[in-house]
């Protein structure tokens, strides 16, 4: 049985310390000493805290802190157990709420940092998913979602628009059967935008699909990492034009323009601002995943990344509060302060 164990996530913004209780979603504002206590204390090991901190801190104060922490633990506001609403099993079967369909085992870009090895995931054969496989995946999700009404499918790759006919067949199959199974599907298409023509824009809008659109911010940053497959030519101008055209026609439908930062653009706030300047309101910037290459993030990058997130937060808040310039919605800064982060953010430790 998969279990979400009691856990906390501590962080600091400028001179203020915070503690997020992951399962309850509650955020506590704490001080530096409580932050140090929580490096050790789990509600059961007072002796361990005293063994480490007694020589540098007042013993009475440490006990008072742990008394207060115990009250929060008893109230399930710290190290809270998993809420029943997030149970991941029904009976003996795991509940599956979402599938990412690798609808195209191929890509038309050759991104240097691609975790999918430019679309083929390190394999020797590039191919497209058949509708039969996609249909069986949908049937599997319906069966394994149990009593859960809301299900999600993300059309992914490689580049899913290389297999557009099967994407459409799958969307229409889902729409034809979801009501009889008492399901409501959220459908997302993740695309690099190279093949995002007007007919495809019309289709995803008509079927109210969410869009995740890939762009790496500044033109030189994007072109350095996301060349066209085969030719190696620059892709930014063509893709940016397609994405701008698509976003202008969303009219309230969900989308995100998603970039990737690497060792080569640790000043990624400039990339977020570059995307905002193009008129994109809903933005995300993710750290690169990889173990080798001159673009991989390194241990020594961490201090600069901390400062960069703080700089981005300052700009974000200033624009939200003062209303000057273009406002933007940064995915990892979105959070309900009353109910806490959504489940996806809790599991990733973001938000």
Q: Over the stretch 175-189, which tens digit does the pLDDT of each residue have?
A: 999 999 999 999 999
Average pLDDT over residues 90-114: 86
118 and 60 in a common domain = no
Q: What is the pLDDT of residue 128?
A: 95
208 and 63 in a common domain = no
Strands 255-261 and 210-214: parallel
Give yes or no for residue 92 having a pLDDT over 50.
yes
Asked which of 74, 109, 126 is the last residue of a domain, the reply is 74
Q: What is the C-alpha to C-alpha distance for residues 215 and 235, in angstroms, rounded to an integer?
A: 10
Of residues 306 and 335, more confidently modeled: 306
Q: What is the pLDDT of residues 231-262, one digit of tens each?
A: 999 999 999 999 999 999 999 999 999 999 99
Residue 2 lies in a domain: no
Q: Is the dihedral of CA 269, 327, 152, 229 positive or negative?
A: negative
Residue 204 lies in a domain: yes
Residue 3 lies in a domain: no
Asked which of 31, 50, 74 is the last residue of a domain, the reply is 74
Q: What is the pLDDT of residues 30-77, one digit of tens each?
A: 999 999 999 999 999 999 999 999 888 899 999 999 999 999 999 999
230 and 102 in a common domain = yes
167 and 131 in a common domain = yes
178 and 117 in a common domain = yes
Residue 154 lies in a domain: yes
Give yes or no for residue 126 having a pLDDT over 70.
yes
- Give the rounded distance of the alpha carbon of 249 from its chain centre: 24
177 and 69 in a common domain = no
Of residues 118 and 151, more confidently modeled: 151
Give yes or no for residue 344 having a pLDDT over 60.
no
Give yes or no for residue 203 having a pLDDT over 70.
yes
226 and 168 in a common domain = yes
Residue 102 lies in a domain: yes
Residue 313 lies in a domain: yes
Q: What is the C-alpha to C-alpha distance for residues 18 and 25, in angstroms, rounded to an integer?
A: 12
Torsion of CA 215, 221, 225, 227, to 10 degrees: 70
182 and 285 in a common domain = yes
Residue 138 lies in a domain: yes
Mean pLDDT across the chain, nearest whole number?
A: 88
Residue 1 lies in a domain: no
Domain tally, the chain: 2
Task: Judge if pTM exceeds 0.75.
Answer: yes
Asked which of 42, 74, 106 is the last residue of a domain, the reply is 74
Of residues 228 and 158, more confidently modeled: 228
Q: What is the pLDDT of residue 347?
A: 47
CB atoms within 10 A of CB 202: 11
274 and 197 in a common domain = yes
Closest C-alpha among 274, 270, 243, 239 to residue 257? 243
The CATH number given to whatever domain includes residue 337 is 3.20.20.70
Q: What is the pLDDT of residues 271-320, one digit of tens each?
A: 999 999 999 999 999 999 888 889 999 999 999 999 999 999 999 888 88
pLDDT band at residue 14 using 50, 70 and 90 as cut-offs: confident
Q: What is the pLDDT of residue 7?
A: 87
Average pLDDT over residues 191-211: 98
Q: What is the C-alpha to C-alpha distance for residues 349 and 351, in angstroms, rounded to an integer?
A: 7
91 and 211 in a common domain = yes
C-alpha separations of 218 from 168, 181, 318 in Å: 32, 45, 22
CA angle 29, 49, 306 (to 5 degrees): 40
Closest C-alpha among 115, 120, 107 to residue 227? 107
Q: What is the pLDDT of residue 1?
A: 41
Cβ atoms of residues 21 and 28 within 8 Å = yes
88 and 68 in a common domain = no
131 and 70 in a common domain = no
Domain interval for residue 50 = 8-74
pLDDT band at residue 122 using 50, 70 and 90 as cut-offs: low
């Amino acid at each position: 049985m998969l279990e979400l164990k009691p856990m906390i996530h501590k962080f600091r913004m400028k001179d203020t310390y915070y503690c997020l209780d992951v399962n309850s979603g509650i955020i506590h504002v704490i001080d530096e000493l409580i932050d140090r206590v929580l490096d050790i204390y789990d509600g059961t090991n007072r002796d361990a805290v005293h063994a480490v901190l007694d020589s540098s801190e007042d013993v009475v104060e440490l006990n008072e802190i742990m008394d207060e922490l115990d009250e929060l633990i008893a109230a399930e506001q710290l190290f809270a157990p998993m809420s029943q609403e997030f149970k991941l099993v029904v009976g003996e079967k795991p509940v599956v709420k979402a599938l990412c369909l690798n609808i195209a085992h191929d890509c038309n870009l050759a991104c240097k940092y691609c975790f999918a090895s430019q679309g083929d995931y390190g394999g020797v054969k590039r191919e497209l998913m058949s509708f039969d496989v996609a249909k069986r995946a949908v049937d599997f999700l319906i069966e394994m979602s149990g009593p859960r009404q809301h299900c999600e499918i993300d059309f992914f790759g490689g580049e899913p628009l290389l297999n557009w006919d099967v994407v459409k067949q799958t969307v229409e199959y889902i729409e034809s059967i979801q009501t009889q199974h008492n399901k409501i599907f959220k459908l997302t298409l993740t695309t690099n935008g190279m093949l995002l023509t007007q007919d495809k824009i019309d289709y995803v809008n008509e079927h109210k699909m969410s869009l995740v659109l890939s762009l790496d911010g500044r033109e030189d940053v994007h072109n350095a990492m996301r060349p066209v497959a085969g030719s190696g030519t620059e892709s930014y101008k063509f893709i940016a034009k397609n994405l701008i055209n698509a976003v202008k026609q969303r009219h309230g439908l969900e989308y995100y323009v998603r970039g990737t930062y690497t060792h080569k653009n640790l000043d990624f706030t400039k990339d977020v601002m570059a995307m905002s300047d193009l008129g994109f309101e809903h933005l995300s910037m993710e750290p690169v995943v990889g173990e080798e290459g001159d673009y991989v993030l390194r241990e020594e990058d961490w201090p600069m990344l901390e400062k960069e997130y703080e700089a981005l937060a300052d700009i974000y808040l200033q624009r939200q509060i003062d209303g000057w310039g273009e406002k933007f919605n940064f995915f990892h800064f979105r959070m309900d302060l009353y109910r806490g982060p959504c489940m996806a953010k809790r599991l990733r430790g973001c938000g």
